[in-house]
Structure 1
């Protein structure tokens, strides 16, 4: 049962994370995942740039996601990408929207800093709930059940995945040699009703070994036009003025 209490989101540089926070992150992670190794968890944390934390009214950490920033060129075109790694929210707070609000605001502000450079969300997915963030908040994302991944986006997926997982990435999936940390099956396996959803069905068919910890590599671009619902409201709020300026400039040039 979800508690009727608000979470407070914050973005903190990884370099400022305290030992207390590390312990809180790991304790929460360990309570939902199997085959967890503290050393691997800390190594993964150490290579990230930021942590998005979710705390309750008492300051207790109830969720987090780790983030790494990439800048690269694909076919001569500069792109920026945010990779989301370890992500978990205390089950009592499932349905709370603060993660979405804080993350979208962070992405919109990054886009505002360099509006002419494409900004992508790059993520690896071992659970259907995480995959569902894509159809809920984005219009175009890859891979999906309805359309083939365009060649340019596939090249971004392959390049980023091979940079981070050179030994494990094959054909869109980060494939683990041995079972590693993965969600408890009671939480990870969709029921019959959920499998009627084409997005969820696509995920479990495409990533057949998700229960072992295999992860599907996904990508979407963060723009006003490509966002939906809460993500679009936040993108409009932060990026709308840039859009207006661009339109006015085009009109002046045209005249």
Structure 2
């Protein structure tokens, strides 16, 4: 991780994204994905309501982004909010930085506070294990997972996939298959090894469940946004930030 960079992450409505910003985002995206033509990228972006943009303020450039959209779903006979994440990418040298995760969590918290009596869920489709780990590492209740089978959340996955991607959802395997021309991770990005599967049950599960991820198939996921889940996340970020500052102070004292 690039520790000396000054990063900022801001949320923008899609209609507020300038052409230069869109081109810069596409340049980041095309570094890591095959079949990443500009026309399809812009078409997909226009289907979203907003995007978080991660910027290296020192270098003055965009180094990552994550999209945001809200979908109405039915939960126990009542209206619920599904916050849908589509494309998410961060340049490799910035992996591990929490600026984007924190901005996303703050907006998620705001959505929950503005709708206190409404259930909120994070809807995520994952073609790479790193994206899936964002859910396993930060949510208490989520689906799918290797150690539990939540039938209720499974039904919500079926619901939103049939609503958003009816032509591509494989209901038997619960995988989204957009075909061979869909953008897929390049071979040197987020590779999975046998030792990783042996050491981490979540990575093993992802690799087995979405075994064709290399050609771009997506594993749809869902997590319940609760006060305890958000508290757990912010506590981890605070502790992590404290440790980073402590390490930096130690480095300076030894210089």
- TM class, shorter-chain normalised? 0.7 to 0.9
Tell me what 1:29 maps to: 29
Per the normalisation by structure 2, the TM-score is 0.86
Contact 1:74 1:155 in 2 (8 A): no
Once the 2 structures are TM-superposed, how far is the Cα of residue 62 of structure 1 from its aligned partner? 0.8
| Residues 89-119 of structure 1 deviation map (CA, whole Å, 9 limit, x = unaligned) | 0111111110111000000000000111001
What is the CA–CA distance in structure 2 between the aligned matches of 1:73 and 1:202, rounded to whole Å? Answer: 28
Tell me what 1:218 maps to: 221
From 188, 193, 196, the equivalent of 1:194 is 196
Once the 2 structures are TM-superposed, how far is the Cα of residue 216 of structure 1 from its aligned partner? 0.3
Contact 1:6 1:96 in 2 (8 A): no
Contact 1:64 1:89 in 2 (8 A): yes
Once the 2 structures are TM-superposed, how far is the Cα of residue 184 of structure 1 from its aligned partner? 1.1
* Number of equivalences: 233
Tell me what 2:20 maps to: 20
What is the CA–CA distance in structure 1 between the aligned matches of 2:25 and 2:223, rounded to whole Å? Answer: 27
| Residues 196-232 of structure 1 deviation map (CA, whole Å, 9 limit, x = unaligned) | 2000000000001100100000000111223464345
Tell me what 1:93 maps to: 94
What is the CA–CA distance in structure 2 between the aligned matches of 1:55 and 1:177, rounded to whole Å? Answer: 32
What is the CA–CA distance in structure 2 between the aligned matches of 1:198 and 1:6, rounded to whole Å? Answer: 34
1:66-105 matched pairs, under 5 angstroms: 66-105=67-106
| Residues 173-198 of structure 1 deviation map (CA, whole Å, 9 limit, x = unaligned) | 10123242111112232123321200
| Residues 132-156 of structure 1 deviation map (CA, whole Å, 9 limit, x = unaligned) | 1112111121000001122x21221
Q: 1:233 to 1:191 in 2, by over 3 A?
A: closer
Runs of 5+ unmatched residues, structure 2: 238-255
Once the 2 structures are TM-superposed, how far is the Cα of residue 78 of structure 1 from its aligned partner? 1.2
Tell me what 1:246 maps to: none
Tell me how large the CA RMSD over aligned residues is. Answer: 1.6
What is the CA–CA distance in structure 1 between the aligned matches of 2:231 and 2:209, rounded to whole Å? Answer: 25
What is the CA–CA distance in structure 2 between the aligned matches of 1:21 and 1:8, rounded to whole Å? Answer: 15
Tell me what 2:114 maps to: 113
From 173, 180, 204, the equivalent of 2:182 is 180
Query: Is 1:207 the counterpart of 2:210 in the alignment?
Result: yes
Runs of 5+ unmatched residues, structure 1: 235-255
What is the CA–CA distance in structure 1 between the aligned matches of 2:95 and 2:35, rounded to whole Å? Answer: 23
Tell me what 1:250 maps to: none
What is the CA–CA distance in structure 2 between the aligned matches of 1:205 and 1:44, rounded to whole Å? Answer: 28
Q: 1:233 to 1:32 in 2, by over 3 A?
A: closer
What is the CA–CA distance in structure 1 between the aligned matches of 2:75 and 2:115, rounded to whole Å? Answer: 17
Secondary structure of the 2:101 match is helix
